[in-house]
Amino acid sequence: MARANVVRTDRPYDYALLSEDLAGLLEAHANLDVRSIGVSVAGRPIPALRIGDGPVRIHYNGSFHANEWITSLLLMKFAEDCLTAVNTKTGIFAEEMKAIFRRATMWIVPMVNPDGVNMAIHGAAAVPAPYRSLVLPDGGEPDFTQWKANVRGVDLNDQFPAHWEEERIRRGITAPGPRDYGGEAPLTEPEARAMAAFTREMDFHMVFAFHTQGEEIYWNYRGFEPDHAETLAVRLASAAGYKAVRLTDSDAGYKDWFIQEFRRPGFTVEVGRGANPLPLRQFNAIYRRLAKLMLHCLMLPVS
């Protein structure tokens, strides 16, 4: 019998808790596969979870930005609920999960930026010695709760080769820091390289990058998106009570690169409302809406 409630939702979600929950889910659910897609700057393996074996390949990721760590917890809770539904022959929102996962394979990278997440939660104590001069140039100990970048001060969602230079000029940030510095070139950071290589290897039909906050879904990129992308975004927005938004003046993100390279639907989903990091007291309300969206994603047409 599958053991329920491995994933607790009442604690700031750092890399240690992610690792603990992955071990618990693997013990409880024989049909879960976990692999590492690469390592972070500080050497932490970046895990990916696979559920299902269907021909439609769907990808979800979270915590590109460190202070958006609640997205990792949301994805891990959804993974657990899916596994429990399949293994107990029950459904989520009255949907038959076994049938869904015969159609679809879901790959989740819950924490793209593990070093940054640990910094955002634990502060300067989580900065490895080799990188302290980059993120603590004056020797001080700033409040890292607003930190978005990785441990080298590079914003991983400004790292992709999709009009990267234009985004660098628009941002105007030329040195490492808490946010918006895209590095010296695209894909300089191991976390971004791992995501690009993993995405090419898996050849996903659709990808979803989860961020916070705003309750919006961004679905377009410079006209490279397929014709039905907006229709899909509107359907997803309706499922969650979010708003589908045509985004302009934004480049170099993971979703942008995926759409440009594959000409397939890619979405950035901004969950919740308020100031980052979103407080855990909002978790249940956010999850109820987001789980509907993620479940709907698994049933969307891919052509």
Catalytic residue flag (residue 95): no
Beta strand residue intervals within the chain, DSSP E:
33-39, 45-51, 56-62, 91-92, 95-96, 104-109, 206-212, 216-218, 243-245, 266-271
Residues 6+ positions from 283 with CB-CB distance below 8 Å: 9, 70, 73, 74
Which H or E run contains 101? Answer: helix 97-103
Going by C-alpha positions, the residue among 45, 57, 13, 51 that lies closest to residue 33 is: 51
Report the C-alpha gap between 37 and 45 in whole angstroms. Answer: 7
Q: Are 211 and 268 a contacting pair, CB within 8 Å? A: yes
Residue ranges in 184-302 assigned as alpha helix (H): 190-202, 229-240, 254-262, 283-297
Name the active-site residue from 189, 216, 225, 270: 270
Determine the residue type at 188.
T
Residues classed as catalytic:
270
